[in-house]
């Protein structure tokens, strides 16, 4: 179909026609299609009583955000004697109505997307319409929705999204369709996104209004008031622009919009309106985003924690691992400087302390020698096991010195932020545990199973197993805590929770584990432990107790992330769904 055929038909016929409306829809010019639809409705033509005409008008209304108007137009189906058309056309208009009613429910926060489960989405089912009704493709794949949120100024004099009431975990915060999407290499996305935005601005007043609200972070003009921004960014019907683009929506302005407001997920880069009002945080994240590929790349935000009324919504723009210096480089490249509590802790509280010195010594050792040693052993797997034990012992000495250097006044989240600085070291330690254990089994197990070998009572192997599994538990306890207060429910956090559960389950099966006890690794009231054979500390726990805790911790994390129950998760069972759920996160 030639683009612009709808306009040509309007000029030739001298008046809007159903055919020109459909051609506008086929061209993707939905605003022009609705303008024709309004003219046709005012004319009250008898030709509008056909099933095809009613469906065309409803699609034009829905495509421009007028879902309630679309539903009203389809009320004629309640009096079928007034509608003309073949059996296939009548079935088609009923299929269109079902989809529009589903979209209307979504716009009100109802439907499957708003349930507690977060197990991925399927494409919208194909409409059962005549093959010639190509224009139904303009029906939105999903409706936009905004939950209990409002735009307000935060303490840093920046706009942000705030909760208007208490919000519970897993609750949907907002659902928005993209203004532009690029699939492929991020480095080449800017030019294509700018062209898409310019094209949309020529035909969509709503797109113009949204982009005008996203340009005021850099342009030399007064930013719009909160009322103006809220009206522009909240879902509303689209219409034809009444004036030229204006000097502030130039190509240069849109390049800045793309640079500062792009969402990079998997292999796609997208620009959204209202989601761009959510500010970044490295340590106070309370929301997660999921781009719904099958539904037109719409983005769905859910609450990850309980959010009190009046609290700001935060979402990480990038991976928040690494040092303060590295994170600030990332944020400055996106046109802002993060001032969250975690960054303030690392910039103002940590420097000059014993903890900072211990952390620096650990990471200096990792970057100068330990990382290269691990990489070298990884390239020589046949020798890795025999050389990993000294490497593991050095890693544990660094992590324990870091733990001893912590300030006793720190809260749990400050401990977590501190531990997060050395995450690469912890990952290296977990890898070493696995390599040494595999090496010991290769030497002694032969054709025997691990359980049979341990039941034989080989004291050296049992002692080695307890040492290695205990080290893995000790490291993973710190890693889980680090993720819980930085990027909770991320792929890495869930992976560590599951690995911790498996490690304690393995610990409980070891013959010597009943003779050992877990004592606090630090003096703070945080869940960090180390194994001792004869604990001198008054407070201690058994492996069985920590296994139960780690299982509950893992189930809670997965159930909160995916909105499923522990029965569905089936942790430890033959139908365990952990791996399948993890695959949906696209690490």
More confident residue, 371 or 120: 371
Domain regions of the chain by residue span: 5-138, 145-343, 351-583
Q: How far is the C-alpha of 57 from the C-alpha of 54, rounded, in Å?
A: 5
In whole numbers, what is the pLDDT of the chain averaged over residues?
A: 86
Mean pLDDT of 375-404: 87
Q: What is the pLDDT of residue 435?
A: 84
Residues 303 and 148 sit within 8 Å (Cβ to Cβ) = no
Query: What's the CA dihedral at 285, 287, 292, 297 to 10 degrees?
Result: -70
Share of the chain above pLDDT 70, in %: 88
More confident residue, 7 or 44: 44
Q: What is the pLDDT of residue 46?
A: 60
Q: What is the pLDDT of residue 514?
A: 61
Q: What is the pLDDT of residue 480?
A: 96
Residue 389: pLDDT band (50, 70, 90) is confident
Q: What is the pLDDT of residue 8?
A: 46
The answer, yes or no, to whether residue 453 has pLDDT greater than 90, is no
Q: How far is the C-alpha of 464 from the C-alpha of 470, rounded, in Å?
A: 10
The answer, yes or no, to whether residue 116 has pLDDT greater than 70, is no
Residue 65: pLDDT band (50, 70, 90) is very high
145-343 CATH = 2.170.270.10
Q: What is the pLDDT of residue 571?
A: 93
Q: What is the pLDDT of residue 446?
A: 52
C-alpha to C-alpha distances, 516 to 335, 379, 397, nearest whole angstrom: 53, 36, 20
Q: Worst-scoring range by mean pLDDT, 122-126, 434-438, 455-459?
A: 455-459
Can you give the pTM of this predicted structure? 0.85
More confident residue, 320 or 552: 552
The answer, yes or no, to whether residue 55 has pLDDT greater than 70, is yes
Residues 436 and 481 sit within 8 Å (Cβ to Cβ) = no
Place of tokens 């990480």: 316
Q: How far is the C-alpha of 403 from the C-alpha of 480, rounded, in Å?
A: 15
Residue 111: pLDDT band (50, 70, 90) is confident
The answer, yes or no, to whether residue 206 has pLDDT greater than 50, is yes
Q: How far is the C-alpha of 488 from the C-alpha of 3, rounded, in Å?
A: 47
Residue 470: pLDDT band (50, 70, 90) is very high
Q: Worst-scoring range by mean pLDDT, 23-27, 50-54, 215-219, 250-254?
A: 215-219
Query: What's the pLDDT tens digit per position in 420-440?
Result: 999 999 999 999 988 887 776
Residue 251: pLDDT band (50, 70, 90) is confident
Q: What is the SS3 assignment for 515-563?
A: HCEEEECCCCCCCCEEEECCCCCCCCECHHHHHHHHHHHHHHHHHHHHC
Residue 194: pLDDT band (50, 70, 90) is very high
Residues 287 and 278 sit within 8 Å (Cβ to Cβ) = yes
Q: How far is the C-alpha of 535 from the C-alpha of 59, rounded, in Å?
A: 72
Query: What's the pLDDT tens digit per position in 70-98?
Result: 999 999 887 777 788 899 999 999 999 99
The answer, yes or no, to whether residue 372 has pLDDT greater than 50, is yes
Q: What is the pLDDT of residue 218?
A: 46
């Amino acid at each position: 179909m030639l683009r612009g055929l709808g306009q040509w038909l309007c000029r030739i016929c001298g008046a809007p026609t159903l055919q020109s409306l459909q051609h506008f829809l086929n061209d993707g010019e939905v605003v022009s299609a609705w303008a024709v639809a309004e003219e046709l409705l005012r004319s009250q033509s008898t030709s509008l009583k056909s099933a095809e005409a009613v469906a065309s008008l409803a699609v034009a209304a829905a495509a421009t955000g007028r879902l309630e108007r679309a539903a009203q137009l389809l009320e004629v189906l309640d009096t079928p004697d007034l509608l003309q058309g073949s059996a296939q056309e009548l079935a088609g208009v009923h299929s269109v109505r079902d989809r529009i009613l589903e979209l209307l429910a979504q716009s009100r926060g109802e439907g499957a997307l708003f349930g507690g489960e977060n197990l991925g989405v399927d494409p919208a089912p194909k409409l059962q319409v005549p093959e010639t009704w190509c224009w139904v493709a303009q029906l939105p794949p999903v409706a936009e929705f905004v939950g209990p949120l409002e735009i307000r100024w935060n303490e840093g004099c920046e706009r942000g999204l705030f909760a208007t009431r208490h919000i519970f975990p897993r609750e949907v915060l907002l659902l928005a369709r993209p203004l532009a999407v690029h699939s492929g290499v991020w480095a080449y996305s800017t030019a294509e996104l700018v062209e898409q935005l310019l094209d949309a601005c020529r035909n969509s007043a709503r797109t113009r209004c949204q982009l005008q609200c996203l340009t005021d972070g850099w342009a030399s003009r007064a930013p719009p008031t909160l009322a103006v921004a809220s009206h522009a960014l909240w879902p509303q019907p689209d219409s034809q622009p009444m004036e030229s683009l204006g000097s502030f929506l130039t190509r240069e302005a849109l390049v800045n919009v793309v640079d500062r407001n792009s969402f990079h997920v998997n292999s796609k880069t997208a620009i959204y309106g209202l989601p761009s009002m959510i500010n970044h945080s490295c340590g106070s994240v309370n929301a997660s985003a999921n781009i719904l590929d099958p539904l037109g790349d719409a983005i769905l935000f859910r609450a990850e924690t309980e959010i009190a009324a009046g609290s700001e919504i935060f979402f990480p723009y990038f991976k928040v691992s690494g040092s303060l210096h590295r994170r600030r480089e990332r944020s400055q490249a996106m046109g802002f400087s993060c001032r969250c509590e975690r960054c303030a802790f690392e910039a103002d509280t940590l420097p000059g302390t014993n903890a900072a010195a211990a952390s620096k010594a650990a990471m200096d050792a990792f970057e100068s020698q330990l990382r290269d040693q691990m990489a070298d052993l990884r390239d020589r797997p046949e020798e890795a096991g025999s050389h990993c034990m000294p490497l593991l012992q050095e890693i544990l000495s660094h992590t324990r010195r870091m733990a001893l250097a912590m300030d006793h006044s720190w809260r749990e989240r400050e401990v977590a932020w501190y531990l997060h600085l050395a995450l690469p070291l912890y990952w290296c330690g977990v890898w070493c545990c696995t390599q040494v254990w595999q090496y010991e089994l290769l030497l002694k197990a032969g054709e025997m199973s691990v359980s049979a070998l341990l039941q034989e009572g080989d004291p050296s192997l049992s002692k080695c197993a307890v040492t290695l599994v205990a080290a893995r538990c000790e490291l993973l306890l710190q890693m889980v805590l680090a993720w819980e207060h930085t990027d909770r429910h991320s792929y890495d956090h869930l992976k560590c929770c599951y690995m911790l559960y498996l490690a304690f389950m393995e610990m409980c099966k070891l013959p010597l584990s009943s003779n050992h006890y877990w004592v606090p690794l630090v003096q703070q009231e945080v869940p960090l432990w180390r194994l001792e054979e004869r604990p001198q500390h008054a407070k201690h726990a058994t492996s069985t107790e920590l296994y139960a805790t780690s299982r509950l911790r893992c189930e809670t994390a997965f159930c909160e992330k995916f909105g499923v129950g522990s029965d569905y998760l089936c942790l430890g069972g033959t139908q365990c769904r952990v791996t399948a759920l993890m695959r949906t996160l696209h690490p």
